[in-house]
Structure 1
Amino acid sequence: MNKDGPVIVIEDDEDDQLLLSLVFQKLGYPNKIVYFPDGQQALEFLETTTESPFLILSDINMPKLDGFALRQKIHVDAQLQVKCIPYLFFSTGVSQKMVIDAYSLSVQGFFIKQTSQAELEKTIQVIMDYWKRCAAPNSF
């Protein structure tokens, strides 16, 4: 896990992208934020980039490759596994089955998108601060 690496946000809703951009700007983390509108584009980036991302915030319901399918592909790809990129779901739609399915794919978190900017800021701050403090196998 590269704590200085980019945060990958996979979100097809432009309004949500804008809100997240405002939140990350306000919180002032130095990490670059890279947005993808679908899982397929994110996967192609992850497979070809020389950068080592800090973490992935993924919506679930997206065109081309949804969040579950993307997580499965990353989970079984040896080259991506070695990068130890925390994968977190960040979705408005949630059910017990979705949460169970997510954790069965070894996601490191499932968060419900907050509707207010203040609550979204709190959630993003908790996520970022937690992962900035965590040690990963490739941190040594």
Structure 2
Amino acid sequence: MDKNGTIIIIEDDLDDQFLLEEVFNDLAFPNKRMYFMDGLSALEYLYSTSDRPFIIISDVNLPKLNGLELRNKIQTDAELSLRCIPYVYFTTALNHQAVIDAYSTSAQGFFVKPGAYEDIKATVKVIMDYWVKCAAPNNF
């Protein structure tokens, strides 16, 4: 994890991408953001870059490679797992099995997308504030 690194956001809904970008701008986080429409394109990016992203914020329900499958691939790939990129879910897919599946892949958080802008902003702030303060093995 590089606290100055890119924030990877995997979200297939363009309206949600726009909304999240507004939230990050309002919160004034300086990190570059990259948006991916599906898990496969995000995985291809991670394999092709030497950058150390700060965090991955992923929806669960995604085309091509869903958020759970993507997390599993990152976790089981020796090179990618050594980057220690926090992986949190930010999704509307709230059901008991989705939460169990997320934590079975060692996700670092599962957050439900609120409906109101200010609530989304507050949730994103909590996520980001936590990871900004958190120590990781590769950020010393």
Q: What TM-score does the superposition give when structure 2 sets the normalisation length?
A: 0.98
Q: How does 1:44-123 map to 2 (within 5 A)?
A: 44-123=44-123
* Secondary structure of the corresponding residue to residue 62 of structure 1: coil
1:16 maps to amino acid? D
Runs of 4+ in 1 over 6 A off after TM superposition: none
User: May I ask how many residue pairs the two structures share in their alignment?
Assistant: 140
Give the deviation of 1:139 after TM superposition.
Answer: 1.6
Identity, in percent, stands at: 54
What are the ranges of 5 or more consecutive residues in structure 1 without an aligned counterpart?
none
Give the deviation of 1:96 after TM superposition.
Answer: 1.1
Give the deviation of 1:17 after TM superposition.
Answer: 0.4
Distance in 2 (alpha carbons) for counterparts of 1:15 and 1:115: 13
Give the deviation of 1:114 after TM superposition.
Answer: 1.2
1:39 maps to amino acid? G
Give the deviation of 1:37 after TM superposition.
Answer: 0.2
Q: What TM-score does the superposition give when structure 1 sets the normalisation length?
A: 0.98
Query: Aligned-pair RMSD on alpha carbons?
Result: 0.6
Deviation sequence 1:42-82 (CA, Å, 0-9, x none): 00001111211000000011110000110110010011111
Deviation sequence 1:91-116 (CA, Å, 0-9, x none): 10111111011101000000001111
Distance in 1 (alpha carbons) for counterparts of 2:52 and 2:94: 29
